[in-house]
A and B are shown apart, each in its own frame.
Chain A
Amino acid sequence: MQFVATKNNFHKGLQIVSTIAQKNAHLPILNHVYISTEDKELKLVTTNLEIAVVAHVRAAVDTVGTFTVPAKTIFDYVNLLQGDNVECTLAENELKVKGGRSTTKIKGAPATDFPLIPPVEATKTFTVDPRELAVGLTQVVYAASHNEVRPELGGVLFSFNPEGISEMLILAATDSYRLAEKKIPVKGSGESARLIVPVRACMEVMRIIAALRGDDLAPTMDIHIGERQIKFVMEGVGLTSRLVDGSYPDYTQIIPQKFGTKAVVSRDQIINAVKAASLFSTTGINAVSLHIEAERKVLTVASMSTQLGEHTSEIEAEITGNEASIVLNFRYVLDALSTISAAQMELGVVSADAPCVVRGVGDDTVLAIIMPIRQ
């Protein structure tokens, strides 16, 4: 195997694939990157046996072959290379990497031991804008559960063209204390599909899109759905992941439709107030109380800790409805506020024991629901 690639291209390819390659006690080869020049193109592959990432890199291939080397080593090394081009040659069980005026030999393992990436036999294919998908995932993925008792909550729901709504992909995540939902446009055959993608795979998709930001990011991304598998494909990059088994709970029934009180506040001000109040909330409970006064047109954010002291701040608000109070976990509030980007935020409260809704004014695509802390 022998090829020459520009340092930038090679480095970018390694950057895309190398985070998936991690130490595995059972199968040491999983921290390697699989390098192939078969079919006269340079292909890099890593996997953790749940997710596999493939990157195709532009390169001049001299001789075809396959090999694997530790991903982190070659990634870190290529980053440090001088010169514009990198030349790699396979010699027995070492990969000779030459760039600028330095040469190195990286010990590796034969590619025959590397796991085979299962092909996704797509039954349905959809197309999205990767930028929109990345934003959408950022707005929901934080709400997914880390608890392993309900594995179906440890993923993000992808609901393509749900009943009655065409050309729409709904992303949702919940840990049963809070929930986030985002709608983004999608193109494709118009069929419906409802599946759960592991959080780790979502994070990787976000990371890869972020890494390609700029001139390399393709305008469209194809999503192929096979049996128990999903594949995200952009120009030059593919990510395959298993799907989470199980059926996602029907969360739509808990989204409140009618509110007793609605308050519209400036996003910056409420973030500030909640952050200030968070300093004086009891650790572990993380409670901050919100009080909405319709007559004075203020939203009061308060907290109290027997050890640390107490805090109160008032924010101007446009209020419709009655006076209301609710106690919330400040982390959940901040997670929701920080991912929704609108100048004005709307807070909808039903009662002190019912879930409340956070959304951006003028942005109907995203919403967050938070369960209150009961007093």
Chain B
Amino acid sequence: MSPSQIWNAVLGEFEVKLNAHLYKTWMKDTALSCFENGQVVICVSSGFNKEWLEKKYHTDIVKTLEKVSGQPIQKITYRVEPMKNGQFVTPAEAPAAPNVAYVPAPLPERIEPKNPYGLNTRYTFDTFIVGKNNELAHAAARAICQRPGTAYNPLFIYGGVGLGKTHLLHAIGNEMLKSRPEARVLYVPCEKFTNDFINAVRAGSARDFKNNYRSVDVLLIDDIQFISTKTETQEEFFHTFNDLHAGERQIILSSDRPPKEISTLEDRLRSRLEWGMIADINTPDLETRVAILQTKCREKSFELPPEVMNHIAAAVSENIRELEGALNKIIASCQLHNQKPTLDAVKSIMTNIQQTTRRSVTPKEVIKTVCDFFDVTFEDIHGQSREKRFAHPRQIIMFLLRHDLGCSFPTIGAEIGGRDHTTAMHAHEKILTELERDAKLKQDMHTIKQVLYQKV
């Protein structure tokens, strides 16, 4: 990671943790100018800024930097540098890097080596909250830890954004290491696999790459849907897969959708991914979300009354990351304003969150997104045909208009080619009941919403 990437990640953490005013005033106009061997230089725009960071945020900055970079921080120097057009400029007369009389400080004893397995030790089974939505994936993961390579191989975990796929992958890795410390575990995001392969080919060290990846006992690959469309990369993965599988070494993969729907995947690879066990992670139900909040509150030792927890869990339903973000914001806001987290206070904070996380969409956009998803035309939706391939998307549109946009039933009828309001009511009710039991519909709905709300 380059210093600017590291600093961006740190700023990201602070932006979530801090109240927006404080973030803008104290953190926004800062930069990391040097990051070497635990020696860090942070540029700030004024003396006030320097003073504040040194006296108030220093410990947090150290912690976050260590977390982001995975390296111990020994010394942070804050330096006031002039800014031009939002960029720091080092004046020409300023002394260059102090290479004279530069004696690196002795390493402190508490240094932990960067986790060589690519695992984050914070993600364990203990912190993973099991609910109806993820019990299958969790059980499969547990089974693998007991009988690696034989229970389910490969294990394929899929589910939406921020539902805990990566957590589960790390948890498996960590658990394996706990029971068998000599095991060779390797966790890589898919992108790293691809990059490693390309670099290896370019550097002519394909053998090292093979040795590296084929000698592991447990291979964890995150976000496999990003595997390149390049046949060479897929082929290399295919061979790596075969080699490991034949040697009864465990392979675990994660993705945001099932193998069947990853269009870039070659058939022989797809069939292999479907070979072992496919487990999905869904959006957590209310009880699970409350349980997650309880755990998080305990971690942060912050007390929330039960009704407040219920409110937060009810308001943020799609994504655990958002849930944690909302909780962080509430904690920060309450601590800043020194107020008790009462239901009213939380409600007013939450309104801000919802405004920012949800893009506002128009009925037109809903219709267009759903049409694109099901590959039907606008006229088909407006038309009178009651064929299932038209009627189903039509009902989903009506459901979304009612459920997400809060349109009235008569308005919905008018939007969808002048239909009666009772048609809209029926559609809403039907989709609502089907969502309860039809996993496919649930998955579709999730994808549609993602497309709808993430459009730029």
Contacts and interface: CB of A to CB of B under 8 A. Distances in A.
Please determine whether chains A and B interact with each other in the same assembly.
yes
Nearest to B46: A242
B80 A28 contact: no
A49 B22 contact: no
A91 interface: no
Contact of B25 (A26, A93, A119, A246): A26
A115 B51 contact: yes
B338 A229 contact: no
Contacts of A115: 48, 51-52
B132 interface: no
Contact of B48 (A26, A49, A93, A246): A49
B25 A118 contact: no
A49 B51 contact: no
Given A116-B52, A118-B48, A118-B50, A26 B21 contact: yes
A39 interface: no
Chain B binding surface, main DSSP class: helix
B338 A110 contact: yes
A227 interface: yes
Nearest to A93: B338
A229 B47 contact: yes
A245 B52 contact: no
DSSP majority for the A interface?
Answer: loop
Contacts of B46: 49-50, 118, 242
B95 interface: no
A240 B22 CA distance: 22
A80 B50 CA distance: 39
A122 interface: no
A246 B89 CA distance: 11
B24 interface: yes
A56 B432 CA distance: 69
B82 A118 contact: no
Given A227-B80, A242-B46, A26 B24 contact: yes
Interface in A257-271: none
A116 B80 contact: no
A226 to B, nearest CB: 8
B91 interface: yes
Contacts of A246: 82
Nearest to A51: B48
A228 interface: yes
Given A110-B338, A116-B55, A49 B25 contact: yes
Interface of A: 25-28, 47, 49-50, 52, 93, 110, 113, 115-119, 227-229, 240, 242, 245-246
12 contacts: A27-B25, A49-B49, A50-B46, A52-B48, A116-B48, A116-B52, A118-B47, A118-B48, A118-B50, A229-B47, A242-B46, A245-B82
9 smallest beta-carbon distances between A and B, as pairs = A118-B47, A245-B82, A116-B51, A118-B51, A26-B24, A26-B25, A27-B25, A49-B48, A26-B21
Given A116-B51, A116-B55, A240-B47, 20 more contacts: A25-B21, A27-B21, A27-B22, A27-B25, A28-B21, A49-B25, A49-B46, A49-B49, A50-B46, A93-B338, A110-B338, A115-B48, A115-B51, A116-B48, A116-B52, A116-B56, A117-B48, A118-B48, A228-B47, A242-B47
